Amino acid sequence: MKKFNIRKVLDGLTAASSSSSSATAQPGTPRENDVVQETLQSEHFQLCKTVRHGFPYQPSSMAFDPVQKILAVGTQTGALRLFGRAGVECYCQHESGAAVIQLQFLINEGALVSALADDSIHLWNLRQKIPAILHSLKFNRERITYCHLPFQSKWLYIGSERGNIHIVNVESFTLSGYVIMWNKAIELSTKTHPGPVVHISDNPMDEGKLLIGFECGVVVLWDLKSKKADYRYNYDEAIHSVAWHHEGKQFVCSHSDGTLTTWNIRAPAKPAQIITPHGKQPKDGKKPEPCKPILKVEYKTTRAGDPFMVLSGGLSYDTVGRRACLTVMHGKSTAVLEMDYPIVDFLTLCETPYPNDFQEPYAVVVLLEKDLVVIDLGQIGYPIFESPYPLSIHESPVTCCEYFADCPSELIPALYSVGSRQKRQGYSKKEWPISGGNWGQGTQTYPEIIITGHADGSIKFWDASALMLQVLYKLKTAKVFERARGKEEKPSTDIVDEDPFAIQTLFWCPESRMLCVAGVSAHVIVYRFSKQEVTTEVVQLLEVRMQCEFSAVDSPDPGGEQTPTLPTPAASTSPQDSEPPNQLSAGIDSSDGPRDNIPCLQVRSSPLKQSPGYQVELVVQLVWVSGEPPQQITSLAVNSSFGLMVFGNSNGLAVVDYVQKTLLLNLGTSELYSPSDPCQRQPRSPRKPRQPSGGLCDSNDGSNNSEDRCKSPTSGSTSPCNSDDERKQNFIEKGTVSFSACAVLTPANHKWLKTSDLSFPPQTLFPVKCKSRRFSKTVANDFAKMSRKISSSGEQKLELDGKDNPFTRSRSSSVTSIDRESREAISSFYFCESFPRKSDSLASPCLLVGTTQGSVMMAAISLQPGSDQKLQQPVSFASCGTLVQLKGGVLTMALLDAAGTLLPPSYEPWYDPNASDEEKEKVRRRRPATPPSSQEGQDTQFAVLCSEKQAKVVAMPSQTCIYKHNITETSFVLRADVVQMAGAYCIACFCANGHIMTLSLPSLRPLLDVNYLPLTDMRIARTFCFSNLGQALYLTSPTEIQRITYSQETCDNLQEMLSELFTPVETPEAPNRGFFKGLFGGGAQSLDREDLFGETAAGKASRSLAQHIPGPGSMEGMKGAASGVVGDLARARVALDERGQKLGELEERTAAMMASAESFSKHAHDMMVKYKDKKWYQL
C-alpha cells in the first residue's frame, strides 16, 4: 500500500493557490522546472526546539540529587533547568507558567517533584531524555508553602498556608487520609493562628518524629504513631528555616531578627544557645542589636572536625548598600563571602545522602538572581569552582547575535587558543562537583560558532557544536576608547546616556577572520585576527561627516568629507587638521556655536597593548554636524578580497578602504539612484530644495521638480545607467566638480585616475570651479551617471564668500522632524561579483545596497588586479541605479549561479598580520577569481532579494524579475537569511506574527510555514538569526539562548543527540548502626509509613481537597492520548509486557521458595543424623 503523505498534498494546494502571485514569471521566461532542478521538498523541514543555554531567568528554587549529582533549578515563569556535567543540560516547562516554589528529588530514582505557586505539585520522569510529567495534583482549598520528601520514602509531606500538613503518595499521587491539623499541633491554650508551615523534616534518628516549624516562631515535634505533639518550642521571633544535627538530638532555627537558636529536643523550655552571627555584642551584657533576617541555615557535621553552619542573610542594618553575603561558620572561624547578586537559595553538598550519618560537606551551591556559584569548603579561603556551564551570556546585556554553522574547522581551535589566556585565576583545583548525566551520541559533527554583542562593548565567541555551548574568546571593544572617570568628566557629545560602547551590529567573515563592529555611538571598528601580541602606538582613526540633505543646520556644512587624523605627513595638508586629532574640547557648546566636527567618543591617545586574538585595524567615527548628533549605523559589511568596509545609516553610506586607511565614498541614499530612476524616493518637504553643493547627501541637483520627487515608485524601472539630457545640461551649467583623494571618475570608458596623476597632495580634497567652461557631453554623461560628490571644507569656504548663498533658507522644527522621519535608510549590503549593467558579459566586483523603502541598487567597484598594487592603486565606485523595487525594507541579498548554488562573496584567506613577510606571502593568495561569463541573451546568475514583505529573484545580467513571492500581507519579516539545507539553498524567514517560513530557490516555492513564536519582546526581533543546515536561535530571555531547528533530519536524530540525565548508580550503603546501638536499641529508628498513611489505616482523603491530573508521560496519559487500533495495540503490548514481567517475578519467587525448601530439608536431615543415637541427657 502506498504511503499517504498529507504534506505533499498541502504543497500541491499551496503551489496551485499561489501560482498567480508567488511565482509570477515575465513573458517569455522559462518555467520554474526548466530554470533549475530543485531538490528541496517540504519533507526536509520540521520545526522543533533543541536546547536552551544560559542562566535560568528569574530563578526561584533549587534541588540537588547527591547520588545522581544532578542540579535542578526552578524559575518564576514555571521553567525547570537541570544541569549535570559540562554539556549535560535540559530544559522543560510547566504549562501553567506559575512560579516554582520548591523542588524535591526522589534521590537516585530518576524523578523530581515540583511545587508551584498555583498550589499544584508535579512528578517529573527524568529517566527519559526529554523529561515529562507523570502525575499532577492540584489543591483546591489549601495554599502550598513547604514540601518535604524523606530519603527513600514514597510519602511526601505538604505544608499549607493554613498550618495543616497533608501527605501524598508519590507513586500514585493520591492523598492520604492522614492529616496533621494545625489546631492539634499547637497548644490548646494558644489563641492565635500559628501561621503558615515554613518547615517540615523528620528526625534523622527517628522517622516517626516529625518536626514542624510555623512562621510565628512555634516549632512542634509530632509523633506520627500516636498522632500527638511530643514537644513544643516557642520563640518570640518568626522562623525562616530549621536544620537538624545528624544525631537527632539538636536542631537550629534561623529567625527574623538575625538570631540562631539551638534547641535540645528534650528541653523545650528555652533554647540551649542563642547567637547573633553579625550582631554587635554590647559590653554591658545586653541583648545585641537586631539584624536582618537569616533566611536559611544549614547545619552539617564532619567526622574529624568541627561542624559547618552555613547561612544567608543576617547582616546588621547599618550595612546599607552592602552586597548579599553567605556566611560560613566553622569552629571558631566565621567567613563572610560577598556575592555579586542577591541570594535566592543555597544548598550544602555532602558526601552521604543519609541524614543520620556524618554529613561531610564539601561544597555549597549558591543560586543568585543572575549567577550560580559553587564554593569549595575543603580549601582554605573557600575558593569557587570554575563553572563549565555557559551561564555568563548575560554578564552584560546581549544587544545583537549571529550564528554560524559549518564553519572552517580550524576556527574553533584558533579562538580557543587565544581565549584560554583570558581565563581567571584562583579557582578551586577540584573538579566540578555537579557531574551527573552522560553526553548524547549525536552524529552532528560540523563546527558551529555563536557570536554575541553586548551593552558594555564586549563581544563573545561561543563554541556551539553538538548542541553544547562553551565560551571561546571575549573581545572588549571599549579598550579602544578613553573612559570618563567621573560623571563630571563625561563628554557632552554622547548620543546615549548609558552604555556608549554597546554593540549595534557586527559582521564577521569566518574564512578571512575579519571582524567589523558598529557601536551605538556611531563608531565602526575593523579587527584582524592575530596570534601574536602587539602594542599599537597610535590607533588608526578616520572621522567621517555624514549629513542628510534636509538635516537641521543653519548654514552649509561640508558634507562627504574625510577628516584625516592619521599620523602621516600628508594629513597636515588638510585644512581640517589645524588642531590635533581626538580633542573633545571642540565638542562642548560655546559662544562660537553648536558642536561640530567632533565624534561621540574619544579614541585613546596612549599606546594600546593588544593581546593575541582580534586586534584593532581601524576605527571610523561619525562626527556631529552643526549641533546634530550622527545617526546610528544600521547596516555593515566587509570584504577582505576587496579590502573594503561599507556602512550605512539613515543619512547614507560610506565606503572605507581599510588597507589604505582612507575614505573612498560618502554619499546620501538618494544619490545612489540613477538620475531618471522612477524608484527614486525623496522626502516631501515644504521647504525649498537644497541647491547643489559639497553636502554629503545633496543628491538633488535641482533638476527634479516637486512633481518628480513625489512620484510613486513602480516595479519596472528603466535602465539604471541611462540619464536624461536635462540632468546633463543642468550638471554642465552648474559647473562644480569635486575631486577626492581616493577616486576620480573620468570619461565613459569608466577608467579611474590615480591620485599620483594629480598635481595636488593625495590627502587634500580640492575644489575646481568651472563657471565659464562647459564640459563635453561625454564627460557630462559620466558625471551625471555618478550620483555622488565628495567635497571638502575648502569648497564650502569658497562658496560662502558669495553674499547670495543658495543654502540660506527658513527653518522649522516641525518640518525638520517630518524630514527626519521620512529618510530612507540603508538596511543591507552585499559584496559580490556580478553584472552591474545589462550589457556586461563578464562579472565584475559589485556592491548591492538595500534600503528601508525597498530599493535595491547596484554599484560597480573598480579594482586594480593583483594584491601588490592594492596599496598604490585607488578603488573607485560607479552607481548604476536601482536594480529592483520591493515592498518593505530590504533584509537580505544573495547571488546564485545558473545551477542554483550560492555564490559567496570572495574573500582573502586568513594570514597573521603580524607574521613575517615570507609567511604572509605563503598564505596571502587571493581566492582565484573565476567570474562567470555571460553569452549574449543568456542569464548566468540569480540575484535573491528579500524584504519585509516579499522576495524576488532577478536574473542577471538581464535584470529580469523571474520569480516573486509575497511572504506576508498582514505582518512583516523580522529576519531573513539565505541558508544551505540538505545540499541545496533556501530563504528562511521569521515574521513578527511568529511564523517561520522557508522558500525554495530560485523558484520561491513555500516549503515550511509554522506558527512558532509570536513576537512578544523586541529582544527576540533583535537576536533571532538563521544559520546553515537547519539551525536557528534567539534570546528567549535576557539570560538564555534558545536554539531551534527547522531540519527534519535534525529532528529525527534529536533523541540521540540530547544528553541523558539519569544514569544507573548504586545507592551508597546505609551507615553501620554498630554492635551496642543494635543491642540496646540505639541508632536510627525506622517507620513503616505504609501502615500509618495507607488507605487501610488512614482512610481516603476528601475528594474536594485536591484533583489528580494524569501527566502526558504517565500510563494514564498515554492511554488517554492513544486511540483507535494503534492505541489498542499499544495497550495490549503494555499489558503483555506487564504480564510477562509479573510471570517472571512469580517464576523467580517459586525458584527461591524451592531453593529455600531444599535448604531447610538438608539442614533438618543433618540435625537428625547428628542427634540420632544420643540419649536425652546427652543433648
Q: What is the tens place of the pLDDT at every residue in 115-138?
A: 999 999 999 999 999 999 999 999
142, 118 contact by CB (below 8 A): no
Write the DSSP string, 594-655: S--S-BSSPBP-S-EEE-SEEEEEEEEEEB-BTTBPPPPP-EEEEETTTTEEEEE-SSEEEE
Max mean pLDDT range (319-333, 810-824, 1020-1034): 1020-1034
What angle (nearest 5°) sits at the alpha carbon of residue 483, between those of residues 479 and 486? 155
Mean pLDDT of 778-788: 33
CB neighbourhood size of 1030 (10 A): 26
pLDDT of residue 710: 35
Q: What is the pLDDT of residues 92-109, one digit of tens each?
A: 999 999 999 999 999 999
End-to-end CA distance of the chain: 84
Task: Check residue 101 and give its pLDDT.
Answer: 97
Residue 810 has what pLDDT? 34
Residues 137-163 have a mean pLDDT of: 94
Exposed/middle/buried for 589, CB within 10 Å: 0-12, 13-18, 19+?
A: exposed
Rounded to whole angstroms, the Cα distance separating 272 from 265 reads 10
pLDDT greater than 90 at residue 670: no
DSSP secondary structure, 967-1026, as one string: --SSS-EEEEEEEEETTEEEEEEEETTSEEEEEETTT--EEEEEE------HHHHHH-EE
Return the higher-pLDDT residue of 943 and 573. 943
Is the pLDDT at 738 greater than 60, yes or no?
Answer: no
What does residue 313 show for φ and ψ, rounded to 5 degrees? 85, -165
Eight-state DSSP code of residue 34 = H
Residue of 1079 and 808 predicted with greater confidence: 1079
Q: Where are the alpha helices (DSSP H) in 618-749?
A: 706-709, 725-734
pLDDT classification of 1121: cutoffs 50, 70, 90? very low
Comparison of pLDDT for 280 and 223, the residue scoring more? 223
Tell me what the pLDDT averaged over the chain comes to. Answer: 78
Q: How confident is the model at residue 1103 (pLDDT cuts 50, 70, 90)?
A: confident
Residue with cell string 556631529: 624
Instruction: Inform me whether the pLDDT recorded for 852 exceeds 90.
Output: yes
| pLDDT surpassing 50 at residue 181 | yes
**pLDDT tens, residue by residue, 876-906:** 788 888 999 999 999 999 999 999 999 999 8
Cis peptide before 836 (omega within 30 of 0): no
Confidence (pLDDT) at 492: 56
pLDDT band of 771, cuts 50, 70, 90: very low
Please give the grid coordinates belonging to residue 672: 545612489
The pLDDT of residue 16 is above 50:
no
Residue 728 has pLDDT above 90, yes or no: no
- Provide the pLDDT confidence category of residue 1033 given band limits of 50, 70 and 90: very high
Number of C-beta neighbours around residue 947 at 10 A:
30
Tell me, what amino acid is at 727? R
| pLDDT tens figures, 1136-1156 | 666 666 777 777 778 778 888
Q: What is the pLDDT of residue 837?
A: 87
348, 360 contact by CB (below 8 A):
no
Question: Does residue 319 surpass a pLDDT of 90?
Answer: no
Q: What percent of the chain has pLDDT over 70?
A: 71
What per-residue confidence (pLDDT) applies to 1161? 82
Over residues 593-639, the pLDDT tens digits come to: 578 889 999 999 999 999 999 999 999 999 999 888 999 999 999 99
Predicted confidence at residue 2, as pLDDT, reads: 45
Q: Are 538 and 527 in contact (CB under 8 A)?
A: no
Task: Sort 1072 into a burial class: Cβ within 10 Å, 0-12 / 13-18 / 19+.
Answer: exposed
- The three cell numbers of residue 631 are 545617526
Query: Is residue 1044 over pLDDT 50?
Result: yes
Amino acid at 874: P
C-alpha cell at 914: 603580524
Residues 842 and 857: their CA atoms lie apart, in Å, by: 19
Q: How far is 84 from 433, CA to CA, in rounded Å?
A: 9
pLDDT for res 1000: 96
Encoded amino acid at 1073, one letter = R
| Cα–Cα distance for residue pair 1031/833, rounded to 1 Å | 28
User: What is the per-residue pLDDT for 66?
Assistant: 96
Distance separating alpha carbons of residues 553 and 809, to the nearest angstrom: 10
pLDDT class of 937 with cuts at 50, 70, 90: low
Q: What is the pLDDT of residue 486?
A: 55
Q: Which of 139-148, 574-583, 969-978 shows the lowest mean pLDDT across its residues?
A: 574-583
Residues 6+ apart with CB under 8 A from 474: 419, 422, 458, 459, 460, 461
Give residue 767's pLDDT band: very low, low, confident or very high (50, 70, 90): very low
| pLDDT score of 318 | 78
| pLDDT digit string, tens, across residues 464-511 | 998 899 999 999 999 999 987 555 555 555 666 688 999 999 999 999
pLDDT at 1158: 81
Q: What's the Cα-to-Cα distance from 983 to each of 40, 650, 658, 1009, 1052, rounded to whole Å?
A: 9, 38, 35, 21, 18
- Write down the pLDDT at residue 567: 37
- pLDDT of res. 1143: 73
* Strands (E) located in 911-983: 941-947, 950-956, 960-966, 973-981
Residue 755 has pLDDT above 60, yes or no: no
Q: Which grid cell sits at 826?
A: 540603508
| Residue 948 cell numbers, joined | 519585509
**Residue 893's closest CA among 930, 856, 861, 859?**
856
Q: Which residues are 1045's β-sheet partners?
A: 48, 1031
- Kindly tell me if the per-residue pLDDT of 368 is higher than 90: yes
Query: Which residues have CB under 8 Å from 1006's CB, separation 6+?
Result: 11, 14, 15, 18, 22, 965, 997, 998, 999, 1000
Averaged pLDDT for residues 737-745: 34
- The upper half-sphere exposure of residue 1165, i.e. CA atoms within 13 Å in the direction of its Cβ, equals 6
Q: Above 90 in pLDDT, residue 647?
A: yes
List Cα–Cα distances, 441 to 388, 828, 1055, 1060, 1081, in angstroms: 20, 40, 9, 10, 51
1009 pLDDT band, cuts 50/70/90, is very high
